Amino acid sequence: MLQAFQEFWLYFPLLQNTLLAGSIIAIVAALMGYFLIMRGLTFAGHALPYVGFAGAAGAVLLGIDPVFGLFAFTLAGGVGIGFLGKEAHARDITIGILMTFALGLGLMFFALYSGYAELVYSYLFGTILGISQQDVLVTAVCSLIAVAALIVMFRPLLFSTMDPIVASSRGIPVYALSIIFMALVAIAVAMSIQIVGTLLVFTLLVGPAATAIRIANRPLWAIILAVFLGLLYTWLGIFLAVVLFNGTLPVSFFIATISFSVYLPIRLLSPLWIGRGIRRQRNQEQQVEIEFEHLKARECVAVEVKQESFK
């Protein structure tokens, strides 16, 4: 094991770009993933990378830099999903069919382009082990923009995620926030696809956040924990893939496996600590409800008394 670590340090200069880009993506994905999960948009997180994949295919066919195709498609898809609004049932179906349509287009683009299989694979699985300085720079700039925007709208977004009805009655533009948020997710997804591949983006979005909300109750703690877990998975995944297996096996496999094997025991054991919190919360809710009933009853009496007195 010690030897493996020493070997890792030897590799370090070669891996510098990979680790940098991977870390940036892990942080941004965990941030976005927390809100995605809390807003019930897990499926959108699965669909958007595929939509971006189709965009990249189209750009390749037209002879443009795939980056433009990626951003155009994910932004259009993200804003479209943001427009769909609240009802989860109808939304899931529309997202699914939108994804199917985009993937069908992607298939057509690749069929028209002759260098078929190679490119499909490179966009599905990513090229995390061959990243240039410029890639890191682009990733860093994009994530800075996305994270800065998220921090600016953090409180209203959190409020509208937890309780959209109350938030909108308080004058928070819930609808606009949902669209801006999806646009940010789209940016994050587009930049991640180039590095980690279509299939892994979803793991980095959902894995750390899903585990974190099982452990931490408060939003801020959950987000910090998610970012930490995301970084941990990415570093461990790269370490295992490069050092122990010499890069013969894909990094996405290791990260997905680590993420799942951390999640499963926590999910199975979480009733031990989550149950207590929920029970306490439910008691409080009942208390509030009872008080509300009392209040309503008193108001009714007051109204009746008023009507009586008017007569």
Residues that bind another protein (CB under 8 A): 37, 40, 42-43, 45-46, 50, 88-89, 92-94, 96-101, 103-105, 107-108, 111-112, 116-117, 120-121, 124-125, 199-200, 202-203, 206-207, 210, 248-250, 252-257, 259-260, 263-264, 267
Report, in Å, the least distance between residue 246 CB and another protein: 12
Here the tokens at position 1 are 């094991």
Q: Which is nearer to another protein, 25 or 136 (CB)?
A: 25
For residue 37, the minimal CB distance to another protein (Å) is: 6
Question: 113 with 61: CB under 8 angstroms?
Answer: yes
Which of 21, 39 has the CB closer to another protein?
39
Closest approach, Cβ 306 to another protein, in A, equals: 33
CA 160 from centroid of its chain's CA atoms:
17
Least distance in angstroms from the C-beta of 310 to another protein: 36
Q: 46 vs 68, which CB is nearer to another protein?
A: 46
Q: 271 — alpha (psi -120 to 50), left (phi > 0) or beta?
A: alpha
Judged by beta carbon, residue 45 or residue 69, the one nearer another protein is 45
Q: Under a CB-based contact definition with an 8 Å cutoff, are residues 82 and 181 in contact?
A: yes
Answer yes or no: are the C-beta atoms of 147 and 28 closer than 8 Å: yes
Q: Between 105 and 215, name the residue whose CB sits nearer to another protein.
A: 105
Nearest approach in angstroms of CB 65 to another protein is 24
The closest of 58, 33, 35 to 46, measured between CA atoms, is 33
Nearest distance from C-beta of residue 80 to another protein, angstroms: 11
Closer residue to another protein in complex, CB, 2/117: 117
Q: How far is the CB of 29 from another protein (least distance, A)?
A: 12
Residue 129 — φ and ψ, nearest 5°? -90, 0
State the residue for tokens 């200069």.
13
Q: Which residue has the tokens 């295992």?
A: 240
Contact 31, 223 (CB under 8 A): yes
What is the smallest separation between the CB atom of 115 and another protein, expressed in angstroms?
Answer: 12
Reported residue count of the chain is: 311
Angstrom distances, CA of residue 224 to CA of 31, 101, 220 = 8, 36, 6
The nearer residue to another protein, 136 or 189, going by C-beta atoms, is: 189
Q: Which is nearer to another protein, 104 or 173 (CB)?
A: 104
Nearest residue to 131 (alpha-carbon basis) of 46, 25, 10, 240:
25
User: Would you say 186 and 78 are in contact if contact means Cβ atoms under 8 Å apart?
Assistant: yes
115, 215 Cβ separation under 8 angstroms: no
